[in-house]
Structure 1
Amino acid sequence: MPAVTLPLPSGDTWTRADYEALPEDLPARVGLVHGELVVNPRPRPIHRRIARRLATRLEDAAPDALQVDTDVDVLLDDDEMEPVEIAPDIVVYSSRHDPYERPIPADLVVLVVEVVSPSTKRKDRRVQPGLYADAEIRHYWRVETDHTAPAFAIYTYELDDATGGYIATGVHHDRITVTLPFSLDMDLKAVRE
């Protein structure tokens, strides 16, 4: 694989303009967290497969007012000095957003889903939920796989207006049945196998 040279930020920290100027075909996943460029390896095929299968089922169940995509940038904080722009594994957001435009503003996002990998456990369980809650994204789901937990499960959370953090709303092993952010009743066997 040829070496990749990234441009340097225009100042001491990365701005949104610096981040947006990065090429789209980087061999790694990158995000922008409080003005720092965060580089992660591309996920394993099983990670992508679970995200793709779950996204397809979410898309089938979502009302027309929502659209579902995988690995797309969401602008969580537009702070000039410490912006936050990352790509969750799955994003469910308003159909008002033009899918040709990036990033998706956080106020149009109703649900983000992270599929936990052995290398992203800390980030997906602790760091990302805090960033999503700070951006006031109402629903967060975390998918634990057989490689990250004793059993496959989807953990669902909803933003608590009193604390500004997420509260657990369920742990789903074989089937997920929820009414928020929209009605969904799904056998998880097809997602995990």
Structure 2
Amino acid sequence: MHSLTLPLPSGDTWTRADYEALPEDLPVRVSLIHGELVVIPRPRPIPADLVALVVEVVSPSTKRKDRRVQPTLYADARIRHYWRVETDQTAPAFAIYAYELDDATGGYVATGVHHDRIIAALPFPLDIELKAVRER
């Protein structure tokens, strides 16, 4: 196990300036939450070709993260197909947004929005009647 030495904060708690002064190449992820430095080990990379599709179900409490942060992480991991399931929309009440990784930009491009049925050939053939899924 490797040890990690971080500088001490300037006072009793960490400030934004203390946080921003940390080196950018830390072997761990760090977050500043209410004056506390939270250290999270970086996950080991998964060969992106092992994951063909990620489906993210948007939660009301994490909407922003699910819509903005997670897709970036999946694209960085080179996961070719990403679907976002929205369940709390008013009209329609259920939708799947499908995306595919664009090799030129490294980001996702939209390939469709599905409300009643999703038929796809990639990343594998499937045909799902979404009404049946919603009723479960």
What is the TM-score of this pair, normalised by structure 1? 0.48
Corresponding position of 2:101: 159
* SS state at 1:163 partner: coil
Q: CA deviation at 1:184?
A: 0.9
Structure 1 unaligned residues grouped into runs of 5+: 1-9, 14-33, 38-80, 86-102
**For the aligned residues, what is the CA RMSD?**
2.6
Say yes or no: does 1:116 pair with 2:58.
yes
**8 Å CA contact retained: 1:118, 1:148:** no
Paired with 2:48 and 2:58, the residues of 1 have a C-alpha distance of 21
1:56-94 residue CA offsets vs partner (Å, 9 max, x unmatched): xxxxxxxxxxxxxxxxxxxxxxxxx97246xxxxxxxxx
Structure 2 unaligned residues grouped into runs of 5+: 7-27, 32-39
Change (3 A) 1:189 1:84: same
Between 1 and 2, higher relative CO (CA 8 Å, sep ≥ 6) is seen in: 1
* SS state at 1:11 partner: coil
Say yes or no: does 1:144 pair with 2:103.
no
1:92-124 residue CA offsets vs partner (Å, 9 max, x unmatched): xxxxxxxxxxx8543311100110111111111
Structure 1 residue identity aligned to 2:50: L
Paired with 2:95 and 2:84, the residues of 1 have a C-alpha distance of 8
Between structure 1 and structure 2, the one with the greater Rg is: 2
Structure 1 consecutive aligned stretches of length 4 or more whose deviation exceeds 3 Å: 10-13, 103-107
**Within 5 Å, which residues of 2 pair with 1:77-96?**
83-84=42-43
Q: Number of aligned pairs?
A: 103
Paired with 2:115 and 2:73, the residues of 1 have a C-alpha distance of 26
Paired with 2:120 and 2:108, the residues of 1 have a C-alpha distance of 16
Paired with 2:43 and 2:122, the residues of 1 have a C-alpha distance of 26
**8 Å CA contact retained: 1:35, 1:84:** no
Q: CA deviation at 1:186?
A: 1.1
Corresponding position of 2:133: 191
Paired with 1:141 and 1:192, the residues of 2 have a C-alpha distance of 16
Paired with 2:70 and 2:54, the residues of 1 have a C-alpha distance of 10
* SS state at 1:35 partner: strand
